[in-house]
Every structure is written in structure tokens, then in C-alpha cells.
């Protein structure tokens, strides 16, 4: 360009965290996130002032992508949580709220950011070491032989998203479906390299949740007209149908001709030449006893007609997303040539059926080894369906992560309160050499540790949105909530019924106290010696990997933000 414009100088803000606008928008964001947390969280409506689709949600992924954070500090926070969610799907709100809490509490103690960072990293390592150790009392081993723990894990994910509008039976029903679908994606023959299959969610809106169902294999939607005329189809044997999968267009358009020019003589029709070849391909497919042709792109109507005449079902425009699952479950290789097809590129299906669902018609492809399944997901309205879809995907991802590391953390706020009491106890008993190696005083350490524990406890308190009282017990350090409006003369043991995760009840003679009050540190005890508990009353479990990483990300992001002493924005 021949013209240049004068560059605007960069905008430099010092000590950004102390600015009113930042702390204000930070507290707004933190308020939004906190009010969404947990099964009783409040819902948020996201809508554009110009009109259009309104989304009701309480999930971090939807919220954060919908909110447009403008300030760099908020951007760091939201980006960091979004990155976490893209990797783990779960515990996004946990990470975001914990980060906000830490920022709030660390700012209050007015120590140098580097001192805070050093100490909080040490505290984090205390937590992570504990969570990883065998002695950890807030984690349990997940037994894949029992559906109970799996269901609890999945149900916790589903119920923590109240915008799905599920009641208890529906949550159980969907939970079972998700587990079923997940188990269908596990290969039957486990070799060294286990690759999980895929669960494809088929949307059916404006139907009852209880109408949802799961099919092994793949469902491909087809127009009604095609349905009636295709059967019976060609089979190789009673239980096998040959399938050919094309990833190129069979529409008869010219393929690329290279960089030079192509001169066509008068009277020569390339279209006819192409169609001629397509029909030759059809002939070969007939000869090879193919029963089903699936094409990612478009099939020429004449070829379709030809195939139909020979009782071959042709499905086109299936799109890229089903190509991989299709090739995975049938063992076919997507074909990209129309000459001399190799017999090895065909796949085998066990059976082919049609399914009708509401007003939709599906071709149901049933494979021999189910690696792929289709989950027909119903919900009453569009926004609740969207929410449910994300919830189911999260639940599936949680199961996948749990297969890799079969551990789960106690849910319902118990992990947080337990961890806080563990940290308090550990800090109380730290040798003085620790402070020396960290180059800080014991008082500084205590301040940061208190802020850290307070943040953990606050996040547990966010589970309660109805002004109830939050208690903790002095033995296990679990989370107990009592509803608001209790009589002042009542004893707490009468008011509490079960702790957040459901592992303990008021039958045990425990000593309760108000959570955020100061109390003397104690060793939180493990509930029972058997790490693989099967408490039938277990109410909530969280994905270990996701929460573990969420904890780390929250502390790291908080330290990162605290450490920012300048923001330099390029205004050009």
C-alpha cells in the first residue's frame, strides 16, 4: 500500500486488577458463574437484542462462548476455562469459580504476587499429591462391573445441568441410555490398541425425554419416498450385506483437468462419457453383489435409478461426519475411484432395516461388531434439547476419561470441603523448613493458605442457592446443607440428613459446625478402609481427571492474572 496511517500509541494500564472497572466486571462474571453452579443453579438466558434464538443454559461452555468478555483479564480467565472444557468437557464452572474466588481472596491479603504464587503453588502441590495418593479419602475407585457407580457419575453430570429440565426418573433413564451407548462403543475384541467407537446423537425435538432410545449401529435419515421402493435388497447371505462407501462425488461432474486447457471436439459430450462410466461402475457393483451404496456427496439420478432396478439401496449426501464411523463399523474403505474397484474396499453389514421415529424415517445399519451406536435424543423444546445434547456428550466424555483412569471424586461439595480441611491440617503441621525453602514467613504462608481454603469452601457454598446453612463435620470434613428457615432451638443433627455426596448420614454421631467459621484443624478421616465403596446411597460423583486438572488450571490462571502488572493494548 502506498499510504500509511499514523499508528495510534498502545494503551498501557498499570496494576489492572485494582481498577474499578475490572473488579466490577470481574465480580459480575463471578456472580453469573456462581449462580449457575450445581443442580439447583439458576438458569441464564442468552439472547441477541436483534432477536432470534434464545438459549437457556447454566453450562460453562455455552455461557462463556455466549458472553463476550472484552477486558483482557476476563479474556484470560474465560479462555483458560474454555480451553479446559475443550479438553475435559466437565468441571468448567468449578475451574472458573475457583479461579474467581482465589483472585478475590488473594487480592484481599495484599501480599506480593510472587509470594502468593509461590505459596499457592505449594498448596496446590499438597492437594494434588494428596489426590493422587492412595490415602486420599475423597476419591473412590470406579468399578466398571457395577452400573451403580457409573450411573452415579453420569447422573451427577446430567443433574448439574438444570436447564436440561430433567426430573429424577428422566435423569436416570437418560443416564442409563448414555451408559448403554458408551458400552456399545467399546470394541468386543480388546487388542493392544483399543480405539473407542463413536456415539452419534440423532436429534428429535418436541418429544418426551422418555422416548429417547439407543440403537447399535448407525441411523441414516432418508426421505419417505425412497423407503417403500427399496426392499427387498440384495444380500450375500442371510446375515451379511455388502456395502460400498464412496467419498467422491458420483454426480458425473468433470473431475479436475489440471492446469492446462482441455479442448473438446464438436460432437463429443464429456457428460455422456462420465455417465457412461458411472453406469459401468453400477454394473460392477451389481456384479460384486453389493447391497448398499452410501455416498458422501451426490449420486447421479441415472445411476441411482440403475441401482434401484437391481435392488441396491443407494444413499447419498450423508456428509463427512458419518464417513469415519461408517468405515469403522463396516470395515469398508471409502472409495475414491470409479475404475476397477478392489474387492477389499467393500464392507459388510449384518442387517439393514428401516425405523420410523415420529415423522422421520431412518435406515438402520446394523454392523457385526458394534463400535458405533446412535442415540436418539428427545426433549421437549429446542433449547432444552441443545442443553441435553451437550450434557450427554459431557457424560460420554467423562466415561471415556474414567476408563483411562478409573477414579472418581466425591461430588456434592464434599471433595472441596474435605480438601480444605485436609490443607488446613497439613499447613498446621508443616515443618519450618518448608517456609525457609519457600523464602516466606509462616504468617505469610498462613494467610495464603487461609485464602486458599476459603476459596475451596466458597465454591462448595455456591451449591446452595436458597439461603440454606452450610455445615461441615469434624470427622470426615464433608459437606452438609440444611434448608433455610430452621427453628433456632433445633439441634443440627436433627436438621441434617445426608452429606453432599450421600456417603454419610446423620445416624453417625458427628460433630457439625458452620463451614466458613474458624475451627481448629483436624485430620479428615477416610470413611472406610475399602477404597472401592459401593454405597447404594451415593448421590454424586465427579470425574477425577477433569476436576484434578480444573483445580490446577484455576490456581495457575489465578496466579497468572495476579502477576499482571501492566496491560498493553495495541489500539490499531
Residues that bind another protein (CB under 8 A): 2-4, 6-7, 9, 76, 79-80, 82-88, 114, 117-118, 121, 193, 247-248, 255-265, 268-270, 272-273, 276-277, 333-340, 342, 344-345, 549, 552-553, 556-557, 559-560, 563
User: To the nearest whole angstrom, how small is the minimum distance from the Cβ of residue 104 to another protein?
Assistant: 18
Element (H, E) at 246: strand 241-246
What minimum distance in Å lies between the beta carbon of 274 and another protein? 8
Closest approach of another protein to the CB of residue 290, in Å: 17
Based on its alpha-carbon atoms, the radius of gyration of the chain, rounded to whole angstroms, reads 30
Shortest distance, CB of residue 88 to another protein, whole angstroms?
8
Angle at 366 between CA 360 and CA 369, to 5 degrees: 145
The 3-class secondary structure across 270-300, one letter per residue, is HHHHHHHHHHHHHHHHHHCCEEEEEECCCEC
Residue 257 or 518: the one with the smaller Cβ distance to another protein is: 257
Contact 358, 214 (CB under 8 A): no
- What is the nearest approach in angstroms of another protein to the Cβ of residue 346? 12
**Cβ neighbours for 519, distance < 8 A, ≥ 6 positions apart:** 474, 513
Q: How far is the CB of 497 from another protein (least distance, A)?
A: 37
Q: How far from 400 is each of 94, 161, 290, 322, 392, CA to CA, in Å?
A: 20, 19, 35, 20, 12
Task: Pick between residue 463 and residue 561 the one whose CB is nearest to another protein.
Answer: 561
| Cβ closest to another protein, residue 30 vs residue 80 | 80
Q: How far apart are CA 92 and CA 425, in angstroms?
A: 28
Whether 543 and 84 have beta carbons less than 8 Å apart is answered as no
CB of 191 to another protein, least distance (A): 10
Minimal distance, residue 65 CB to another protein, in Å: 14
Neighbours of 440 (CB within 10 A): 21
Q: How far is the CB of 270 from another protein (least distance, A)?
A: 6
User: Which residue blocks in 45-197 are alpha helix, DSSP H?
Assistant: 60-66, 72-88, 92-109, 113-132, 147-159, 168-184
Contact 495, 470 (CB under 8 A): no
Choice between 34 and 84, CB closer to another protein: 84
CA distance linking residue 450 with residue 118, whole number of Å: 15
Grid cell, residue 347, equals 464392507
Question: What's 16's DSSP letter?
Answer: G
Element (H, E) at 229: helix 224-230
Q: Give the residue with the Cβ less far from another protein, 193 or 238.
A: 193
CA angle 487/489/491 to nearest 5° reads 95
Which cell goes with 516? 466458613
**121 vs 311, which CB is nearer to another protein?**
121
Quick one: 188 or 342, whose CB is closer to another protein?
Answer: 342
| Residue 3 or 229 with smaller CB distance to another protein | 3
Nearer to another protein, 98 or 495 (CB): 98
Amino acid at each position: 500500500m502506498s499510504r500509511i496511517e499514523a499508528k495510534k500509541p498502545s494503551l498501557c494500564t498499570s496494576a489492572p486488577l485494582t481498577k474499578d472497572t475490572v473488579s466490577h466486571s470481574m465480580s459480575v462474571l463471578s456472580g453469573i458463574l456462581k449462580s449457575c453452579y450445581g443442580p439447583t443453579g439458576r438458569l441464564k438466558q442468552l439472547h441477541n437484542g436483534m432477536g432470534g434464538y434464545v438459549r437457556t443454559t447454566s453450562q460453562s461452555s455455552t455461557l462463556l462462548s455466549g458472553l463476550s468478555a472484552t477486558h483482557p483479564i476476563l479474556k484470560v480467565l474465560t479462555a483458560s476455562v474454555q480451553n479446559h472444557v475443550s479438553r475435559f468437557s466437565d468441571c468448567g464452572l468449578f475451574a472458573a469459580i475457583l479461579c474467581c474466588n482465589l483472585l478475590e481472596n488473594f487480592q484481599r491479603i495484599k501480599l506480593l504476587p510472587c509470594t502468593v504464587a509461590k505459596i499457592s503453588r505449594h498448596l496446590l502441590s499438597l492437594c494434588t499429591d494428596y489426590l493422587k495418593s492412595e490415602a486420599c479419602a475423597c476419591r473412590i475407585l470406579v468399578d466398571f462391573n457395577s452400573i451403580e457407580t457409573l450411573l452415579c457419575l453420569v447422573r451427577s453430570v446430567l443433574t448439574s445441568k438444570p436447564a436440561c429440565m430433567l426430573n429424577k426418573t428422566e435423569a436416570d433413564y437418560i443416564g442409563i441410555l448414555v451408559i448403554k451407548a458408551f458400552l456399545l462403543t467399546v470394541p468386543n475384541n480388546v487388542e493392544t490398541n483399543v480405539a473407542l467407537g463413536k456415539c452419534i446423537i440423532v436429534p428429535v425435538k418436541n418429544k418426551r425425554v422418555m422416548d429417547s432410545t439407543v440403537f447399535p449401529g448407525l441411523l441414516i435419515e432418508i426421505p419417505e419416498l425412497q423407503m417403500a421402493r427399496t426392499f427387498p435388497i440384495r444380500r450375500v447371505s442371510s446375515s451379511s450385506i455388502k456395502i460400498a462407501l464412496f467419498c467422491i462425488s458420483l454426480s458425473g461432474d468433470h473431475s479436475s483437468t489440471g492446469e492446462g486447457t482441455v479442448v473438446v471436439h464438436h460432437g463429443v459430450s464429456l457428460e455422456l462419457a462420465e455417465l457412461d462410466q458411472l453406469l459401468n461402475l453400477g454394473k460392477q457393483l451389481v456384479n460384486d453383489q453389493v447391497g448398499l451404496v452410501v455416498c458422501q456427496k451426490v449420486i447421479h439420478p441415472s445411476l441411482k435409478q440403475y441401482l434401484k432396478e437391481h435392488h441396491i439401496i443407494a444413499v447419498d449426501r450423508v456428509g463427512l461426519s458419518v464417513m469415519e464411523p461408517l468405515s469403522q463399523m463396516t470395515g469398508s474403505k471409502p472409495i475414491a475411484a470409479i475404475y476397477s474397484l478392489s474387492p477389499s474396499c467393500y464392507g459388510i453389514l449384518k442387517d439393514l432395516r428401516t425405523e420410523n421415529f415420529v415423522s422421520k424415517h431412518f435406515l438402520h445399519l446394523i454392523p457385526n461388531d458394534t463400535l458405533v451406536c446412535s442415540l436418539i435424543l428427545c426433549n421437549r423444546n429446542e433449547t432444552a434439547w441443545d442443553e441435553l445434547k451437550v450434557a450427554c456428550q459431557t457424560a460420554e466424555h467423562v466415561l471415556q476419561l474414567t476408563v483411562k483412569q478409573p477414579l472418581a471424586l466425591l461430588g456434592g461439595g464434599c471433595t472441596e470441603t474435605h480438601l480444605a480441611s485436609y490443607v488446613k491440617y497439613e499447613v498446621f503441621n508443616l515443618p519450618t523448613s518448608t517456609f525457609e525453602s519457600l523464602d516466606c514467613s509462616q504468617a505469610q504462608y498462613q494467610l495464603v493458605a487461609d485464602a486458599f481454603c476459603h476459596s475451596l469452601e466458597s465454591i462448595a457454598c455456591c451449591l446452595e442457592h436458597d439461603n440454606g446453612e452450610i455445615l461441615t463435620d469434624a470427622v470426615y470434613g464433608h459437606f452438609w446443607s440444611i434448608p433455610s428457615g430452621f427453628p433456632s432451638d433445633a439441634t443440627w443433627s436433627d436438621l441434617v440428613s445426608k452429606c453432599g455426596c450421600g456417603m454419610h448420614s446423620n445416624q453417625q454421631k458427628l460433630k457439625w459446625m458452620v463451614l466458613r467459621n474458624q475451627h481448629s484443624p483436624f485430620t479428615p478421616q477416610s470413611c472406610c478402609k475399602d477404597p472401592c465403596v459401593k454405597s447404594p446411597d451415593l448421590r454424586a460423583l465427579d470425574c477425577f481427571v477433569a476436576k484434578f486438572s480444573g483445580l490446577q488450571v484455576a490456581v495457575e490462571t489465578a496466579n497468572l492474572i495476579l502477576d499482571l502488572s501492566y496491560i498493553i493494548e495495541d489500539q490499531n
